[in-house]
Structure 1
Amino acid sequence: MSEYQTPRFSLPLLAVGQAHKELFHNEALLLLDFLIDSVVLDVSDDPASLSPAEGDYWLIGPVATAEWSGKSDEIAGWSNGGWHYIKPQESMKIIMSNNQGMAIYHDASWQFIVQVNGPAGGTIIDSEARSAIDSILDALRTARILPHIN
């Protein structure tokens, strides 16, 4: 970490007498814009295969190529100024768009969370317990603690 970067996400800090402060300030705001509501479109290894729009983010896959080479597991975001990268931190959570689920960065890798289904089947059915469990699962999905995959 440089003395002109934040410790967790390496956001650029301003320095006394620094030229073009607006560039560093804007870079920090772009990254914060993502960190406030961390939604990625998908996992990808090759930026050349994408048609990014401003504000689109991808999770860089394990076989990153071209501009993304050496940036596996980072998050790449597109703006008019090009690609911006976020290095994941322990316990960081992202939401995969289109109800694909969620992932948490744990022990130096992304752990994808699978959908938890409500109770089904069995020989003895307690409908009140099933209803309570389904309500809890719905609340966890609404709070984005559990993914809701269609």
Structure 2
Amino acid sequence: MATPHLALPYIVQAQAQKEVTHNEALNRLDVLVQPSVRDIDRTAPPTEPAEGDRHLVAVGATGAWSGHDDQIAAWFAGWAFFVPAAGWQVYNAADGKPYRFDGTSWRPDTADVGPGAWQIPPINMDWIGLGGGWQNPRYRIDQTGLVTIEGAIQNPTASEDGVIFTLLPGYRPAADLIFPGYSAGGLSRWNIRASGDVEVAASNRLFTSLSGLRFYAAS
């Protein structure tokens, strides 16, 4: 028997080893009350977790986390997993933002961070922001789930196609999308993957624009 909301185990009459049940309940409370996780996009467990570390298990989890997508993983001399209920909220220490579980997936809690809060992603490969007053790559989501990406990039080394950055969970489309883009050489192509990867193809190292990329995030 357990409590209906946090599944805290009850101690029953004449139960042996009551301390085991009691300690399990304390661990659940320690994980689930005012929860803060280290990150939300990890699919494999860290190699050297600290006691009490918590993570949101990303979709496609492997290793000891396999089969625990979207659950809260906590380390207590071993991994323990906690299945979220609709409405649960966690704070992500990696980006300083709250996330809420909608019953299916974790999404940015736009009610708390404010509609349209911009996310500034780290850029991969040799790409950098265009500079000169142009907006560096960024993206946001509004309360309807519409994601907007904007900015301009350049590559001082050479034209290089591939993944420019990866959208956080909650900002990703339900399926792969293709958008036309503009670069100094004419047209380019943007691939927005369901995995969150934002890929450029047929780019130009002098100037490639991300403006005009808009889509609805998977619900």
User: TM (normalized to structure 1)?
Assistant: 0.67
1:108 to 86, 104, 115: 104
Q: Please list every run of at least 4 consecutive aligned residues from structure 1 whose deviation after the TM superposition is greater than 6 angstroms.
A: none
C-alpha distance in structure 2 between counterparts of 1:17 and 1:64, whole Å? 40
Contact in 2 for aligned 1:13/1:24 (Cα 8 Å): yes
Q: Is the 8 A contact 1:31 1:84 kept in 2?
A: no
Please give the per-residue CA displacement for 1:23-58, whole angstroms capped at 9, x wherever unaligned: 1111111110122211000122212x3321011100
Larger Rg: 1 or 2? Answer: 2
Counterpart of 2:8 in structure 1 is 11
CA offsets per residue over residues 49-102 of structure 1, 9 Å max, x none?
A: 33210111000111112222211111011113x222211011110000144312
Equivalent residue number for residue 88 of structure 1:
84
Unaligned runs of 5+ in 1: 119-150
Mapped partners of 1:107, 1:27: distance in 2: 25
Q: Does the 8 Å CA contact 1:104/1:113 hold for their aligned counterparts?
A: yes
Is 1:23 the counterpart of 2:28? The answer is no
Superposition pairs for residues 48-127 of structure 1, below 5 Å?
Answer: 49-80=46-77, 82-113=78-109, 115-116=113-114, 117=117
In 2, are the aligned partners of 1:9 and 1:86 still within 8 Å (CA)?
Answer: no
CA-based RMSD:
2.0
> Which one has the bigger helix percentage?
1
Gaps of 5+ in 2: 119-219
Q: Contact 1:40–1:59 at 8 Å: present in 2 too?
A: yes
The match for 2:35 is: 38
- Hey, what does 2:199 align to over in structure 1? none
Distance 2:58 2:81 in 1: 13
